[in-house]
Structures are given as C-alpha cells and as structure tokens.
Amino acid sequence: MWTAVPPEESVPWPNCTLKDNLKKSPEIYTAHVEGRGATAMKIKRPKKSKQPDTIPPTITNCPWDITITTETDPVQVSWEQPEISDNSGVFTSVASISSGSCFRYGTHQVQYTAHDEAGNEASCQFKVTIKKPDLSCTAQPPTDGSLACGTLSYPGSGKNKWQFCVPFCMKSTGFHRRAGSVFFCQPSKSGTSWFHLDEAWQMTKAHMPETCTVRRRMGSRKGDSLQYYEGDCNEQAVKKQILATVEHIVAKDPSVVSQCTRHPNTCGNFRISDLSVHCGPGNNQRDTEPPVVISCPQNIEIETKKGNPYWNDLPELSWKEPVFEDNSRGPLTITKGGSNVNNGDKLAYGQYSVEYIATDLSGNQAKCSFEISVKSIACTMELPEHGAIVCGYPSVDGMDLMTIDCIVLCQSKYQFSRDPYPIYACSEEGLWWTFTSTFTPIGPNLPSLNHKCQEPDIHKKPKVVDQNFYFDGDCHDRAVQDMLIGHLEYFQRKTSAYQYCELNREFCRKWNGYRNVTVFCGST
C-alpha cells in the first residue's frame, strides 16, 4: 500500500516499501518518478522464473491379478494397497474398488488413479476373478472296455452344457450288469453323480460299469449293440470307430429323442464337443512294455585244481536265479539260452554263457545274461634270455586233455644252465609236471619254469644234448617260429608216455597233436 505525497515535497525513495498484508515479510519494489512534482511513477516488480510440473505421480507395488475358487458368493477379498508418491508432495488417489470389498462370481477390474496439483495422472490396474469350483464328474473306463466322454449342448441354450459318457465293451465280452447307453453328470456342492434321463427328462441315478466280463454263453448282450467294438482300443482306427458311434448312440437316447416332441425346432440339432476315448485295463490294451530285470547274477570266475573231467570230481557251480517283474502283474515265461548249463551243474575248465529270457503275455521280452569262467591255477614261467618257450594244448582222439605242454629252447651259441626235460606240462595245481624219455616217464614237479640260456664255459666240457633244444635265427621271425612249433611235436613223440601209447594202442587213445601253439621269445 502506497501513501500519497504532495508533489512539491521530496520523498526518500530508497526507503519506500510496499506493505502487503498477505505476506509476512515486505517485498521491495523499484520505483521511478517522471519529472519534478509528477504524480505518476513506474513500478517494476522483480521477475520470477517458474518451471511447469509435468511429472506424474509414481505408483509402485501394484497388486497382481487375484483368482479365487470358492462356493461362497459373494466373497470378501483384501489386498495390500499400492504405494503412491509425487515430486510435489501433494496428490489425490482414488480406488475404483477398495480392498476388503465383496465380489460375486466373475471377473472384476480394479483401478487405482492418482492426480497431482498440476493435473498429471497415473494409474494401475489388476483383476479379481471369483470362480465356481469344477464340479465335473469323474469315471474310470471299464476293464476290457473303454469310455467315450464329451459335452452335449443345444442351440440357444447359452452356456448350458451337459457332461456325458458312453461305456463300451469288446465284442468278446459283455457288461456285467444292465447298463444304460448315455450317462449324464449331475454336479452339486455336495458332490457329483451319474444319472440317466428319460423322455420326460426325469433323472434316474446310475452307476457307471466297472468291468466287461467274458461271455460264457450265447445270448443277447446287455446295453446297446453299438456299445461293442472289435480290436485294440489303443489303435487309432479303433478309437475313430468308437468316436463315430457315439453320435448315433446319443441320438437314440430318450432325452434327446424327446426333444423332437418338446422342441421340434431343435430336433436332432444337438452339438457334441470335447469328445475323447479312454481305454480301460485288460486285453484290449496292447502291452508294449517289457518285463523289468530286478536281479541278475554277475559274471562268475573261479580257479580250481579239479576242472579236468577225466580224472576229477568237477566243481559244482550255483547262482541265485534272476528275478523279473512285469507291469501287467501277469505270469512270465522263463526260458534259458546260451551254453547248455544249468544252475548247480558240475563244470569243467572252459568258458560258458548263461542267458535267461522272460516273456510276458504280450510277447515282450527282457534278458538276463552272464558269463562263467572255470580256470585251472595258472603256472608261472620266466622267459629265458637268448631263448624261447613254445606251448600248446595237447589232444587225443575223443578227448581234450585241458592241459598245456611247453618246451624250453636256447639259441645255438648258448647253452642251458641245467639239463632241460623234453616236455613240461602245466598241471591243475599250478605245478609243472616233467615228462622224460627214460624208464621213469614223469620227473619231479616244478613250481616254476625258469631255465636260463648262457654263454658256454670254456673250462667245462659241454654236455651232449639233443640239438632240437637249440635254434638258429631270430625268434620273432615267422619262418623260425614255424620251425620251433615243429620242435614241440618232436619232443612229445620222444617222451616215454608217448612211446608207451604207441606200443599199447589198446590202452591209449590216438594222438591228435597240439592246438593253439604259441611261441614266446625271450630277450636278446
């Protein structure tokens, strides 16, 4: 507020202030007087710069969509409020539906909206869905049969649909009791049940068939003739056959036929949807799952002194029989394969394979197999430096001796540290039996075959030894090895035992030579 001053008087302008009763502190203005004694002046207000607010409020922690399944209608629903803030510190928020409100069945949109003083706006939305519990009926397909289920509706009926099922049996079986064609589902809060509809749409409670029984005698079947099928329910062609039959069975149902009288405009104008076929357990399903091997013996390997059947009581081998299981819980047929070996047999030296095969009623198979190895106790030998050892498996007419014979040889420019025997035979006890060419056919038993080939001692007179104990050339050469193999046969014929059998054929079997002869070369 300004005070008027006469023109002829001067005013100390720097001390003039504008008194504004609306503000606590005075605001200073700059004033100019135009001419002496003038009554007009210019007042210059200070300029203030102000940026417009364009930032909307911020909403965080907006609730997620809420879905509740309940038999209560309406139902109270609560949620945590979202957090709202604004840069100005001043805002207004509005909720379309507040937390703790009651909701009926259906989907409801909830929105929170916030405004600040500048008119900026922000919002968040979520849905609250209240659903009725699913009261659909459940049923298991009958044994040796199947169950086709779907929904039935009529035009103009809105969302009203009837859940229904039609039981089927294989043609070789029949329903164990009288069965209606079409079963409808009646849902309620207390539970669900199956029923039949008559021409007046009166409900009769019914029990879904649990099994299809084998027909013991001829006669009419229970149920509609269309409710029987041939083939494997799991095969696609059979399922298509069942699905195609369902519409004909539904069309013959009393409740559907009565529609032609009650509502001629909808006669036969029904719609089937969500149709599917479920196969029951039994022989209508082809079992493709093989039996399961629960236990199977591991490979068996033994060393024994008594594996020769010609002069020993053979060792008895036994094992736990394998165990199989099948998904059908039906009987399994167990057959044996591999070697002709049974549990508890006495086995000679050799390799045997054992195989058990389990077959279920559908022909699926599972196998359990393992190996049996019966070995003699191994004999030890040391290869002579500058020498060789030749070994082979002897056989006579009609008999495999199941032993191994060996000879020891030296290169011709070396000599033996001690006299060798013609034949060394590895016994079942792991000892080397020595066969001689003297009147004493069998010499001492040796724990190891360990002859040495050494350079001649010039101070000693060399012993006279069969020259077949020596060889020339490289032991690794194939031609040399072929020659050494012949030495094994030579020394066998030199033994007293061989000579005896040659003279006494009636007591000995015919000699058939050696098999699997191997040459082992010592270092040079």
Encode pLDDT of 150-189 as tens digits: 888 877 666 677 888 999 988 767 776 666 688 888 766 5
Nearest to 112 by CA among 127, 100, 96: 96
Per-residue confidence at 201, pLDDT binned at 50, 70, 90? low
pLDDT for the residue 319? 93
**Taking the CB of residue 302, how many other CB atoms lie within 10 A of it?**
12
Are 295 and 323 in contact, with CB atoms under 8 Å apart?
A: yes
Q: How high is the pLDDT of residue 311?
A: 57
Average pLDDT of the residues in 351-376: 89
- Cα(83)–Cα(100) distance, rounded to whole angstroms? 17
pLDDT per position as a tens digit, 230-269: 778 888 888 899 999 998 888 888 877 877 777 777 677 7
Q: Are strands 102-103 and 173-175 parallel, antiparallel or unpaired?
A: unpaired
Q: Which H or E run contains 487?
A: helix 478-494
Residues 321-352 as b/e (b if ≥16 CB within 10 A, e otherwise) read ebebebebeeebeeeeeebeeeeeeebbbeeb
198-202, 210-214, 284-288, 506-510: range with highest mean pLDDT: 210-214
pLDDT of residue 25: 46
**Domains identified in the chain and CATH numbers:** 1-49 (no CATH), 58-131 (2.60.40.10), 145-279 (no CATH), 292-376 (2.60.40.10), 380-521 (no CATH)
CA angle 465-468-471, nearest 5°? 110
Helix extents (H) in 187-289: 236-251, 254-262
Give the residue from 88, 13, 87 showing the smallest Cα distance to 43.
13
Give the C-alpha separation, 354 to 369, whole Å: 6
Q: Which helix (H) or strand (E) element contains residue 376?
A: strand 365-376
- With 0-12 / 13-18 / 19 or more C-beta atoms within 10 angstroms meaning exposed / middle / buried, residue 167 is buried
> CA–CA distance from 170 to each of 147, 223, 242, 329 (Å)?
12, 12, 11, 22
Pair of tokens at residue 232 = 């494997």
What pLDDT score was predicted for residue 179? 60
pLDDT at 472 over 90: yes
pLDDT recorded at residue 79:
92
Assign 412 to helix, strand or coil. coil
Q: Which of 161 and 482 is assigned the larger pLDDT?
A: 482
Examine the pLDDT at 364 and tell me if it is beyond 60.
yes
The predicted model gives 32-51 an average pLDDT of 51
Interhelix angle 236-251/254-262, rounded to 10 degrees, is 40
**Residue 196 banded pLDDT, cuts 50, 70, 90:** confident
With cut-offs at 50, 70 and 90, classify the pLDDT of residue 411: very high
CA distance 164 to 212: 20
Band of pLDDT at residue 466, cut at 50, 70 and 90: confident
